[in-house]
Amino acid sequence: MRFLPLFPELVRQLFREPATNRFPAKYLPPTVTGFLHDVAAGRARLTPPVPTPPEFRGKIAYARDSCIGCGLCTKICPSHAIELLPTKKIRIWIDQCIFCSQCTSICPKSSLTMSPEFLLADEDRYSEDLIVE
């Protein structure tokens, strides 16, 4: 039994790189939206997020043209995030989607795919970014 077996490990940690990725910036900006405007204007630099692994399940992508409106995806979606429109096309409410990728596996026409996009935070759940159709 020893006192503080942790101590040497802690000293070692002092000289290591931090394990976390400093996203979106090294220090938290006063306002994130303001910071993003600065990034868009080229005044600040965004620390890139950790890359997503292959076959990551992100925001859904919908190939409208190939969809035949069979409605299978609406039947299988666990969170009822897909709506079958009278035009025989679908609308996906991303704010409700749980990214299970079940609709992409059932679609007979492969019209649905999962994109690697994951930065989906929004102030409005009905914003354009969160509705795919």
Partner 1 sequence: MSDESKKAPYIVPIGPNHPALKEPVMFTFEMEGEVVREVDFAPGQAHRGIEWMGMRRNPVQIVHLTDRICGICGVSHTLAFARAVEQVAGIEVPERADYIRTIIAEFERIQSHLLWAGVAAHELGFDSLLHLTWKVREQSMDVIENLTGNRVNYGIVQVGGVRRDIVLEQHPIIDDCLGTYEGLLGKLLSLFLDDKTITMRCRDCGVLSKKEALELCTVGPTARASGVNVDLRQDYPYAAYGDLDVRAILPEQHMGETHGDVYDRIVVRLLEVGQSCQIIRQCLSEMPAGPVTAEEKLAKLLAICKKAQGEAIGRVEAPRGECFHYVRMDGKDAPHTWKVKASSYSNLMSWIPMLRGEQIADIPIIIASIDPCLSCTDRIAVISHGHRSVLAKEDLHRLSVEKTRRLQR
Binding partner of residue 92 among partner 1, ligand SF4, none, CB cut-off 5 to 8 Å per kind? ligand SF4
Q: Please report whether residue 109 would count as binding ligand SF4 according to CB under 6 A.
A: yes
What is the spatial distance between Cα 23 and Cα 78, in angstroms, rounded to a whole number? 32
Residues lying near partner 1 in the complex (CB under 8 A): 1-6, 9-10, 13, 19, 53-57, 72, 75-79, 98-102, 105-106, 114
What is the spatial distance between Cα 123 and Cα 4, in angstroms, rounded to a whole number? 47
Q: Please report whether residue 71 would count as binding ligand SF4 according to CB under 6 A.
A: yes
Q: Which residues contact 13 (CB under 8 A, 6 or more apart)?
A: none
Cα 20 from chain centre: 19
Q: Which residues bind ligand SF4 (CB under 6 A)?
A: 60, 67-73, 76-79, 81-82, 90, 92, 97-103, 106-109, 111-112
